[in-house]
Amino acid sequence: MAVAEDTYWERVAAVSGLAGLTLTVVGTFIVGSPPAADATMERIRTYFADNRTGLLVQMLLYGLAAAALIAFVGGLLSYLRRYEVSSGLLSGITFGGGVTLAILILVGLFLEIGIVYRVASTAGDALVRVIFDAITTSAVFFGFPIAVFVGAACVIARRTGAFSKGIYWLGIFVILANLAGAGELFIDSGPWTPGGSATFIPFGLLVVWEVAVAITMISRSGRDQQRLAD
Structurally, the chain folds into a number of domains equal to: 1
- Residue 126 to residue 130: CA distance in whole angstroms: 6
C-alpha neighbours within 13 Å on the C-beta side of residue 162: 25
pLDDT digits (tens, 9 = 90+) for 62-97: 999 999 999 999 999 999 998 987 778 999 999 999
The whole model's pTM is what?
A: 0.86
Range of the domain at 178: 2-229
Average pLDDT for the chain: 87
Q: What are phi and psi of 176, to 5 degrees?
A: -60, -45
Cα separation, 62 vs 109, whole angstroms: 8
Rounded to the nearest 5 degrees, what angle is found at the Cα of 109, between the Cα atoms of 105 and 115?
150
